[in-house]
Amino acid sequence: MLLTVAVFAQPAPNFAKFTVTAVHDGDTFTATDSKGTSHRVRPIGYDAPEVRSNVILETQPYGRIAGDSLRKLIKGKTVLLDTTALKSGQSRDQYGRLLAEAYFSDTSSIALFMVKGGLAWAWEVKGRVFPKMNIILRDAHRNARNENYGLWLGYMDDKGRRKGPIAPWTHRKKFGLNP
């Protein structure tokens, strides 16, 4: 008896090496490609608390912690970006940032690190080449929240009251920005 097994291959990630030159916050950094071209990068899969900018006039609780954590991990280092991670071929967001799956040089996910550590919210990405990553990030998000990691622990406001975390998209609405 002959048994035939169909194998459905998924495309492999299309990694390109970039050197991180600056980290702006927990989910935006600048990196230089092999040709020396500088790109502002928005890793897909997570949304970190906001920091004060020319548009966002108030830093969220944990915004600086998320940014500082990412800065310590990747500034001056090589990261791997997969810019073919979205089926739509969309490569830039509304702010002109390069959208990519971002990985540390050992190929572990930056999004997963940030979400697992309670430094960001999982962000489901529709049209992802590797849709299982949405499930992995959602599960990591749920675990961080259940275990009160990082921002899920909450914070004390200026009147000494314990407050829960506010999602970045809710915070951005205060300043008239799209979620």
C-alpha span between 179 and 177 (Å, rounded): 6
SS3 state of residue 110? helix
pLDDT at 7: 47
Query: Which pair of tokens denotes residue 167?
Result: 């999602």
The helix (run of H) or strand (run of E) holding residue 132 is helix 132-146
C-alpha span between 147 and 33 (Å, rounded): 38
- Could you tell me if 42 and 97 are in contact, meaning their C-beta atoms sit under 8 angstroms apart? yes
Indicate the pTM of the whole model: 0.88
pLDDT at 169: 93
Query: Which pair of tokens denotes residue 74?
Result: 């990747």
Could you list the pLDDT tens digit for every one of the 179 residues in the chain? 455 544 445 566 788 999 999 999 999 999 999 999 999 999 999 999 999 988 888 899 999 999 999 999 999 999 999 988 777 777 889 889 999 999 999 999 999 999 999 999 999 998 888 899 999 999 999 999 999 999 999 988 889 999 999 999 999 998 888 76
pLDDT at 10: 57
- Could you tell me if 101 and 109 are in contact, meaning their C-beta atoms sit under 8 angstroms apart? yes
Query: CATH assignment of 15-173?
Result: 2.40.50.90
Residue spans per domain, the chain: 15-173
